[in-house]
Structure 1
Amino acid sequence: MPKKTDKTVKKPAAAELKTKKTTKVVEAAPAVSKKREAFVRLAVGRTAAAIQGIRLIGNLSNTSMYEYSDDDVKKILQSIREELASTEARFEAETHKKSRTPVKFEL
């Protein structure tokens, strides 16, 4: 029968512990323009608001709370698709014209 050996590990005393101090070289991040900062800040908030709005429209599908027709749904989704296509075109176009038509939607 093999002998059992007592393998206890002696922990060093606090005075025996030595820590190495390392110096990290941190490269400076490239300067971000104020225009970029503004774009990111606004894009994050507006995108989140748009997604939330779309989710709220999706909540209208609850037939225990609302009554709607297939035509209503088609109008809502077509309106959203058209506006999204218009927005995509503005980002792809060389001239960035603002949409001057007021937001108006009717069922």
Structure 2
Amino acid sequence: MADKKTESKRDKFVRIAEARTNKILNMVELLGNCSNSNIYEYTTSDVNQIFGAIESAVKDAKKKFSAQDTEKTTKFSLKK
């Protein structure tokens, strides 16, 4: 691994994105452990809320990588 001071933007992205992605994948795996109904009690509504929140966060994060998201779609103007 290159010295962090001389690390390219690409190398920095790869290093950080891999580490963060692996953390997320690990946490999703841990969340899956909560599906053991011998230990936990949950409803379908609970599961839908959990995965709805996760899916929404993934969608928001993915939008940040889109070129379309760099420009705000709604701009304020008093001109007609």
TM-score by length of 2: 0.74
Larger radius of gyration: 1
Counterparts of residues 14-29 of structure 1 (less than 5 Å): none
Alpha-carbon distance, 1:55 to partner: 0.8
Task: Give yes or no for the alignment of 1:89 onto 2:63.
Answer: yes
Instruction: Quote the Cα distance in structure 1 between the aligned partners of 2:67 and 2:47.
Output: 30
Q: What stretches of structure 2 of length at least 5 have no aligned partner?
A: 1-6, 72-80
Identify the match of residue 73 of structure 1 among 37, 47, 50. Answer: 47
Q: What stretches of structure 1 of length at least 5 have no aligned partner?
A: 1-32, 97-107
Letter in structure 1 aligned against 2:36: N
Identity of aligned residues (%): 36
TM-score by length of 1: 0.56
Q: Which has the higher contact order (CA 8 A, sep 6+)?
A: 1
Q: Which has the larger share of helix?
A: 2
